[in-house]
Amino acid sequence: MKNIIKTMFFAFLIITISSCENDKEPIVSANSFQLRTLESVSSFVLLPQDNENTVLTFEWDKVNNGVATQDSNYLLEVAKSGTNFSESLVANDDEFILTDRAYVLKVAELNSLLATAGFQCGVSTPVDVRIKSVLGNRVGNPFIQYSNVITINVTPYSTETPELAFVTSTSEIAASSKMVSKGILNSEFEGYFYLQSGSYKFYQPSACGDFASATAIGGTAGTLDTDSAAPSITIATAGYYLVKANIVANTYSVSQYNYFGIYGKAKSTLFSDRALPFVDDDHDNIWTITVDLYKGRKFKLKSNYWTALLTGTPPYIPSTAPIISALGKSSTSGQLVSVDPDLNVTDGLITVPGTDDGTKVTCIITIDVRNSRDYKYTLVTQ
């Protein structure tokens, strides 16, 4: 009986040892996987008008982690060629690619990545692209593998909003205030300026915003002319001007104004379209007014051209004075944008602080139109 028990014990021991030897934890191991593109092109000049176009479509193999595991996640990395991805950026808003091992890289996204990395506008630069396989969480101790690297040559465009200068000579460009367009793909420029009398031209920088090689643009009777012999635009009288230009439609306007004013029912119920003038004593296009306004009521701002003496108590700009522009509040606090001058159009109306109880409050209002499309205002009650 004892021999039988001993025999069973040793058999169990052998089975246990054998089982332990065969039950080793599986160990992941790196195995290469391939990244491919569906297109054969390898050199690209990016343009903002092509933002929605595809640069390349990437596909890659399912990664082999050496043993059966859960599926890996993938990131598409972009870096300047030759840096070994030491300062890489991740496409897809730095998120895992959840599609079936494919990614469409478009012009807008690639240009944004290159701008973030400091790539120079207008210069063709080699760019490395690879896929990063991540098994486990990105934080902690994930198992990482990388695909092969694909190198492409890319010329990025400037992400800065386009500008124009309006000056009498190229030597004045650097120090001058610039006209700014509505956006990268927009050809409409504007700016409020105090101009001295003289002969002016528009100056358009290179596509990368370099005014050193700016193109001079003259004009006649509202039509722009890029010919080198094009006539200059004459400013006969020093003063305030709203200057506009459309470099695609080849049109421009130079409109003189001499007042900014506040108007609306916050000023008065009757004759609400008559504007009370702001003051700008040093011609820097920062205008101020101290005025009593009805609490809780609304107003807009407008620029006018009026040469006759102002009358009334307090003096006001007549409603018949030509309106050059109208400004109202934007969705961003303290910012002004161009609006419809009609008070019945509620967009842009600014509200005086307080409850509309028929009483007034003294307001100090300042507007700053020095920087094109970055117009600001403050309203302080006393």
Residue range 130-170, pLDDT digits in tens: 999 998 776 778 899 999 999 999 999 999 999 999 999 99
State how far the Cα of 177 lies from the Cα of 179, in Å rounded to an integer: 7
State how far the Cα of 134 lies from the Cα of 142, in Å rounded to an integer: 6
Mean pLDDT confidence for 367-376 = 97
Q: What is the pLDDT of residues 87-135, one digit of tens each?
A: 999 999 999 998 789 999 999 999 999 999 999 999 999 999 999 999 8
Q: What is the pLDDT of residues 169-194, one digit of tens each?
A: 999 999 999 999 999 999 999 999 99
Report the pLDDT value the prediction gives residue 19, as an integer from 0 to 100.
44
Q: What is the pLDDT of residues 229-287, one digit of tens each?
A: 999 999 999 999 999 999 999 999 999 999 999 999 999 988 999 999 999 999 999 99
Cα-to-chain-centroid distance, residue 9? 78
Strand spans (E) along 231-344:
233-235, 239-246, 251-257, 259-263, 276-277, 286-294, 298-304, 323-329, 335-338
Backbone torsions φ then ψ of 102, nearest 5 degrees: -155, 150
Q: What is the pLDDT of residues 292-326, one digit of tens each?
A: 999 999 999 999 999 999 999 999 999 999 999 99
Report the pLDDT value the prediction gives residue 139, as an integer from 0 to 100.
72
Report the pLDDT value the prediction gives residue 9, as an integer from 0 to 100.
45
pLDDT band at 26 (very low <50, low <70, confident <90, very high): low
Q: Is 371 helix (H, G, I), strand (E, B) or coil?
A: coil
- Per DSSP, the residues of 25-68 read PP--------EEES----EEE--GGGTTSEEEEEEEPPP--SS-
How crowded is residue 152: how many other Cβ atoms within 10 Å of its Cβ? 21
Cα Rg of the chain, angstroms: 34
- pLDDT at 39 exceeding the cut of 90: yes
